[in-house]
Amino acid sequence: MENLEAAFPFLFPVFFALFWIFILSSLSRLSGWSTLVDHYKSDQSLNGSKKHLQSMSMGSGTFMDVGYSNIVTLEVNADNLALSLMFLFQPGHHRIVIPLNELTAEPHKIFFIFNGVRFSTVKAPAIKITTMRSWAKWIEEKTNGRWSIQSALKFSSSPLM
């Protein structure tokens, strides 16, 4: 017992790190991030515009979506959108690069009040990325209109809120 107490200061960080990796990997699977990684994993730099400390939720669009608050980095160029997380939250969350021609969007209300957008991809349409409308406006602005929210709307008869 005395040996265990003496080893505790050294074992605790190891167990904490393993537990942290397990939790983040589980959230990656629950949110669908791992599904997007199967289709869009990439380490390439886009050399585009970046937006740090962003928030989103991801999942199948049900009650159990996983929230990523202020830890998402967006990067966009004329052809692609990249999503990555802050360093401490990266285990199980590899960087993904989605071609803009495979990105669809639909209007969505967040908490029944705020105007949001729900993105999905061609290769993994069941996974929804929900965020504020400002993301879509920013992507449109940074791509000089090559990707526009109106052209990406899944239901063209639905007005964007």
Q: What is the pLDDT of residues 93-151, one digit of tens each?
A: 999 999 999 999 888 887 788 888 999 999 999 999 999 888 888 999 998 888 877 76
Residue 158 pLDDT level (bands cut at 50, 70, 90): very low
Residue 23 lies in a domain: no
- CATH number of 65's domain: 2.30.29.30
Residue 46 lies in a domain: yes
Torsion angle defined by CA atoms of residues 61, 67, 70 and 72, in that order, rounded to the nearest 10 degrees? -60
Indicate the number of domains in the chain: 1
Give dist(CA 72, CA 119) in Å, integer. Answer: 15
pLDDT of residue 21: 96
pLDDT of residue 112: 80
Over 90: is that where the pLDDT of 17 sits?
Answer: yes
Residue 13 lies in a domain: no
pLDDT of residue 161: 42
Q: Are 68 and 53 in contact (CB under 8 A)?
A: no
Q: Could you count the other beta carbons within 10 Å of the beta carbon of residue 158?
A: 11
Query: pTM of this prediction?
Result: 0.84
Residue 157 lies in a domain: no
Residue 148 lies in a domain: yes
Residue 11 lies in a domain: no
Residue with the bigger pLDDT between 111 and 67: it is 67
Residue 7 lies in a domain: no
Residue 80, domain extent: 33-152
Q: Which residue has the tokens 């980095």?
A: 73
